[in-house]
A = this chain, B = another copy of it.
């Protein structure tokens, strides 16, 4: 039996370490899609400064591709597509468009190693004959100019978004774990028995610290120095927990305190704040928009999170304008401000 054929999409901090873990294990054939830095990586590989795998220069996976379409044409079909890009459905490259060329119905398994809630829905709709798995990766890793600084170990949990009894799903999960798990000192991968709970729990941090620091242009410690945590951060986390509960995920309230202390003394800038600093689109829909839609459907009050979401939409619109994704023609908005959203949706979001 031939080795499973794996495509890793996204060569940032997460994707590069994912590819490294797979290639080190040597039980699969790994293609890595490198979009903007393809020429750089094709010529001199990736340099890892890895807390787990050591200092590696000129590293390459089995194959490199400039796009998912190139990868599918040259190195497909794939048994696994591991998607590690940011998930920005309101941007110019929704994830279902990104992976589409690499999905072979009935045979490809799609693993979404991404944050957020509700990210599987558009995939299940777009690829009804594809197994879509949840991947939650705890890793400290960042990529810049061909160099990966890997400072905290790769810890991956994969599982089913919606529990099934399907034998094939259990098989592809256990096979992926087999091709991913290196010596325990290097990385760790395990079955996630309850991805919904895992995702909502992670969201208690991300929906609050990522959003607040992105909006205010600060880090997780300065945020608390400036405003404390009692008036904003903790009540916001409790709103996330209430939405999660309405969705069937029961998070114990002690995570609030734990997450408030997670970064004590570290002055850590969450990824969403970094994205905004760099003028990049932020994952506001999967981190806040989708959870708030669930809150509305279930009648959960979310005044703080709704405020953060509204402010993030404003920040995101500015980034979209700055990057030329939308152009606000003032004449379109000369009239009644109540109609702005409708005008915007109609003219600018088609």
Contact = CB atoms under 8 A, between A and B. Distances in A.
Given A264-B336, A338-B229, A341-B228, A222 B307 contact: no
A232 interface: yes
A3 to B, nearest CB: 47
B265 A231 contact: no
B337 A221 contact: yes
* Residue from A260, A303, A309, A315 whose CB has the most chain B CB atoms within 10 Å: A303
Contacts of A317: 218, 222, 225-226
B265 A334 contact: yes
Nearest to A308: B307
A227 B330 contact: no
Given A215-B216, A334-B264, A310 B222 contact: no
Size band of the interface chain A makes with B: 35 or more
Contacts of A330: 221, 265, 267
Interface string A315-335: 111100000000010100111
Interface string A210-250: 00100111100111111111011101100000000000000
Interface in A197-218: 212, 215-218
A146 to B, nearest CB: 30
Given A303-B304, A307-B304, A337 B222 contact: no
A317 B87 CA distance: 31
Interface in A7-59: none
B226 A335 contact: no
A311 interface: yes
A261 interface: yes
B216 A315 contact: yes
A272 to B, nearest CB: 14
Given A303-B304, A311-B311, 11 more contacts: A216-B314, A217-B314, A222-B314, A222-B317, A225-B317, A225-B328, A225-B343, A228-B341, A261-B337, A264-B335, A307-B307
26 contacts: A212-B314, A215-B215, A216-B314, A217-B318, A221-B340, A224-B337, A224-B341, A225-B341, A226-B313, A226-B316, A227-B309, A227-B341, A229-B337, A233-B310, A260-B337, A261-B337, A264-B334, A264-B336, A264-B337, A265-B333, A265-B334, A303-B303, A303-B307, A304-B306, A307-B307, A311-B311
